Amino acid sequence: IKNIFAQFAGCKIIFFDADTYIVTDTITIPAGTQVVGEVWSQIMGTGSKFTDYNNPAPVIQVGAAGSTGIVEITDMIFTTRGPAAGAIIVEWNVHDPAGQQAAAGAWDTHLM
């Protein structure tokens, strides 16, 4: 998943087939990315990275701190499995560009 975002962010719609995608490390969705799921595709964080509530870590990080740009996420579910007291399911860092409302957002997307 990281390689797909690195290669196609900003130039293609990244489409997730209907499935559950298990991740054990933070997935960063950079500014300029469009993500579309098929019937609420899931990205599910699990593993030791997400268990320590004293050292929380995001499962999904949308942009770097202070990012500005367009991000569109549609029809996705972001969730965890197993002990995940240290999981930040989504850390949102991207802000709309000046003068463009609703350029950075998530639609029909759920956090569980």
Query: pLDDT 10s digit of each residue in the chain, 112 long?
Result: 999 999 998 888 999 999 999 999 999 999 999 999 998 999 999 999 999 999 999 999 999 998 999 999 999 999 999 999 999 999 999 988 876 777 889 999 999 9
pTM attached to this predicted model: 0.92
Residue 93 is given by DSSP the state -
Token pair of 70 as six digits: 């367009």
Token pair of 20 as six digits: 């559950």
Using CA atoms, how far apart are residues 75 and 68, in angstroms rounded to an integer? 22
Using CA atoms, how far apart are residues 25 and 15, in angstroms rounded to an integer? 20
Residue with tokens 């956090």: 111
Residue 8 is given by DSSP the state H
